[in-house]
Amino acid sequence: MVELKPGARFQSTVCTTEVIVVKGAGEADLTCGGAAMVAAGTGEVAGAPAADAAEGTLLGKRYSDEADTIELLATKAGDGSLGVGGSALAVAQAKTLPASD
């Protein structure tokens, strides 16, 4: 479990993925490639992503959960997929702005 707070940085232990928390608070089971993520700069890459969590993470994309309570920004791409509490995170869709006519 890691403490999520805006600005916190985390890295994967099974691929090159790194993220920064944009939205979220409290403790969460943050994973990448099926393995727990650690604070940036504190871990080394060892092993490979699990087969069911190897869809990859794209640089510069925002990832969020279904309830939109957690949002992560990928600062480094990697082979592992992001997840929280056993549920996969999806690429966040851009919000539509109102017309300014």
pLDDT digits (tens, 9 = 90+) for 50-68: 989 999 999 999 999 988 8
Confidence of residue 80 (pLDDT cuts 50, 70, 90): very high
Mean pLDDT across the stretch 16-36? 93
Predicted model pTM:
0.87
Mean pLDDT across the stretch 16-43? 92
DSSP the chain: -EEE-TT-EEE-SSSS-EEEEEE--EEE-EEETTEE-EETTS----S---GGG-S-B-TT-EEE-TTS--EEEEEE-BSSPEEETTEE-EEPPPPPPPP--
